[in-house]
Amino acid sequence: MMTHDITTLEVGQVLATQTFPLTRDSLVRYAGASGDFNPIHYRDDVAESVGLPGVLAHGMLTMGVAVSPLLEWCGTEYELVSYQVRFTKPVVVDPETGASLEVQVSVGALIESEDGTPQVRCDLTVTSDAGEKVLGKAQAVIRAA
Amino acid sequence: MAVNEAIIGRDYPPLPPYLVGREKVREFARAVFSKLPIHHDVHAAQDAGYPDVVAPPTFPVVVQEGALQVLLADPDSGIDYSRIVHGEQRFDYSRPVVAGDELHATIHVTKVQSLGGHSMVTSETRINGADGDHIVTAISTLVVRGGE
């Protein structure tokens, strides 16, 4: 049973929105899972010494989190053709209050691929609790799995 | 020191094969807040037509990270590790990575650009399965900040 038919989507349509709270625990967990142990992601003294406003979330954590709402929308019916982002603003994660990422997934374009199967470019808007867009040109193209 | 443009087009030797572990996939999925059952539950993944749990889309960064270390270790590159910021990232998929995959990665440099005192280094890490078929290409642009 198909729960989503991507051929009926309209450009601009919002598919999903979700907010993710990030804490220092999230950063340590991501460091271990990814193998990226750059100390600017868990040590205030190191972040400060290189002139950063504070400990930052890994860009790749933000990228990984941002696509989650789309994957849940897709379920097992669709898979990714491509996924890209630009890292435009750092996400500062406060030791006590953390940070949060608000993700909105919308339809960016309907694409006819070379083999004629329909694909959809989904645009991800990711906003930090500081009100800044933290990713630029965040786009994921999906096709039937 | 500026990034050496002679590294454009340079190919580096393949990385040792990376065997994708089921628990590593689950660990990575938890770390990126992915609750989709195919990332955690073998039966859910198999019901969806995959042989084992499916890695989240950004998982190939684990392999790309190792490939970038090969590039950064090239004494000829002129890349100052302490001045690197991740600028852009892209993945082009033929299929998702699944637990049990043996990933074979090779990295090559596609572009070096100067921009306002900074250098942008774009590299492509092509990742194939044990059968030689393409799985995913991870394309990374590193910004190397110029001296002040």
Domain boundaries along the sequence of chain B: 5-21+55-144
Q: Hey, how many other C-beta atoms are within 10 angstroms of the C-beta on A109?
A: 12
Tell me if A34 sits within 8 A of B55, measured CB to CB: no
Query: Encoding tokens for residue A58?
Result: 């890994």
Tell me the C-alpha distance between B48 and B77, whole Å.
44
Interchain contact A69–B (C-beta under 8 A): no
Closest Cα in chain A, distance from residue B98 (Å): 13
Q: Which residues of A touch B87 (CB under 8 A)?
A: 86-87
ipTM: 0.94
Interchain contact B95–A (C-beta under 8 A): yes
What is the DSSP secondary structure assignment for residue A144, as one 8-state letter? E
| Confidence grade of residue A2 (pLDDT, cut at 50, 70, 90) | low
Q: Where are the alpha helices (DSSP H) in chain A?
A: 24-34, 44-49, 59-66, 68-74
The yes/no answer on whether domain B5-21+55-144 falls in CATH 3.10.129.10 is: yes
pTM of the prediction?
Answer: 0.94
Residue-wise pLDDT tens digits, B7-59: 898 889 899 999 999 999 999 999 999 999 999 999 999 999 999 999 999 99
Contact A84 B91 (CB under 8 A): yes
By C-alpha distance, which of A138, A45, A44 is closest to A87? A138
The per-residue pLDDT for A1 is: 44
| Confidence grade of residue B139 (pLDDT, cut at 50, 70, 90) | very high
Does position B83 have pLDDT exceeding 90, yes or no?
A: no
| Confidence grade of residue A143 (pLDDT, cut at 50, 70, 90) | very high
Residue-wise pLDDT tens digits, A70-125: 999 999 889 999 999 999 999 999 999 999 999 999 999 999 888 888 999 999 99
Contact A63 B89 (CB under 8 A): yes
For testing contact with chain B, the best of A2, A3, A29 (most B CBs within 10 A): A29
Does position B1 have pLDDT exceeding 70, yes or no?
A: no
Which CA distances in Å does B104 have to A31, B101, B130?
23, 9, 7
Contact A32 B27 (CB under 8 A): yes
Tell me the C-alpha distance between A57 and A29, whole Å.
11
